[in-house]
Amino acid sequence: MEPGGLEWLLVPMQQLVSWGAAGAMVFGGVVPYIPQYRDIRRTQNAEGFSTYVCLVLLVANILRILFWFGRRFESPLLWQSIIMIITMLLMLKLCTEVRVSNELNVKRRSFAAADSKDEEIKAPPKRSYLDFDLNYFWHWSKFTDYLQCVLTFTGVTGYITYLWLDSSFFVETLGFLAVFTEAMLGVPQLYRNYQNRSTEGMSIKMVLMWSSGDTFKTVYFFLNQAPFQFSICGLLQVFVDIAILLQVYLYSHYPQKPVSHTAHPTSTKAL
């Protein structure tokens, strides 16, 4: 085959591979949550999944989008953040509905002060407008409370970013916080598994997909010369995934007695 003919074949192949890698970056991050979402919907039990995972990813991807305004990185990474935010909101909605339907304690917990018309409240609430009780933070009774919290965080961080957008130090720090927060993605699940001394209820498929996706993502960062924050924190994320997989092995081969949380059951739940 002539060199010109070979080049004619290689160019579209390279373009196809590039499109495939970009598509994997955009949608690959949400794939691990599909089996977990289906398991929760099928069993109507969300105890094995920590919704603090959703919190970590929401914060990380909101910060990453804000980082894009200061330093324009590749558009697939931007679209990945948008798709991930939508996915995490859907996960939160399902987990909240399932948990509330199974919860015996019907006392209303909210991000904003409860409406006096709420049937569960017999008297006007005697507390401040925002409920930041650490025992119940991110453990609210309605999906709208989570949505209000996310919108408040986005508005505050967006305003701060607008004021400091001309500072390269602020922009680089923002980028580091975004990817470092994402690198901590598996830590809530790691802690929850340690707390329960078990990985029961956690989707093993989800963790395996986490590991393969994070490995692919880290290699993608290095090959495409993404900002150094992305590459370093990508490696950290892979190490956390490996630690969770070690928990799966240890707790399945050497079962341990779960830690009792009878004293304050609601304060120890990650949901």
* Confidence band of 116 (pLDDT split at 50, 70, 90): very low
The answer on pLDDT for 89 being more than 80 is yes
Burial status of residue 151 (CB atoms within 10 A of its CB: 0-12, 13-18, 19 or more) = exposed
Average pLDDT over residues 12-40: 76
Q: 3-state DSSP call for residue 213? A: helix
- Contact of 186 with 244, CB cutoff 8 Å: yes
Any idea what DSSP says for residue 136?
Answer: T
Give a yes or no: residue 260 inside a domain. no
Distance CA 153, CA 16 (A): 38
Amino acid at 209: M
Give a yes or no: residue 3 inside a domain. no
Structure tokens at 83: 């798709």
Report pLDDT for 189: 77
Structure tokens at 117: 């018309």
* Confidence band of 161 (pLDDT split at 50, 70, 90): very high
Give a yes or no: residue 267 inside a domain. no
The whole-chain average pLDDT of the chain stands at 77
* Confidence band of 112 (pLDDT split at 50, 70, 90): low
* Domain range enclosing 29: 13-106+138-253
Give a yes or no: residue 217 inside a domain. yes
Structure tokens at 254: 């050497």
* Confidence band of 91 (pLDDT split at 50, 70, 90): very high
* Confidence band of 17 (pLDDT split at 50, 70, 90): low
Residue with tokens 């919190």: 55
As a 3-state breakdown, the chain gives helix, strand, coil percent values, each rounded to 5, of 65, 0, 35
Distance CA 63, CA 139 (A): 22
Structure tokens at 62: 């909101």
Give a yes or no: residue 207 inside a domain. yes
Report pLDDT for 159: 96
Distance CA 265, CA 135 (A): 10
Give a yes or no: residue 263 inside a domain. no
- Contact of 56 with 188, CB cutoff 8 Å: yes
Range ranked top by mean pLDDT from 11-15, 93-97, 198-202, 227-231? 93-97
Q: What is the pTM of this model?
A: 0.70
Average pLDDT over residues 19-46: 80
The more confidently predicted of residues 167 and 256 is: 167
Give a yes or no: residue 239 inside a domain. yes
Give a yes or no: residue 258 inside a domain. no
Report pLDDT for 122: 42
Structure tokens at 243: 């630690």
203: left (phi over 0), alpha (psi -120 to 50) or beta: beta
Question: Angle of helix 52-70 relative to helix 187-196, nearest 10 degrees?
Answer: 170
Within 8 A by CB and 6+ apart from 245, the residues are: 207, 208, 211
Distance CA 177, CA 67 (A): 10
Q: Where are the alpha helices (DSSP H) in 29-167?
A: 33-43, 52-70, 75-102, 143-164
Tally the domains of the chain: 1
Question: Angle of helix 228-253 relative to helix 204-223, nearest 10 degrees?
Answer: 160
* Confidence band of 119 (pLDDT split at 50, 70, 90): very low
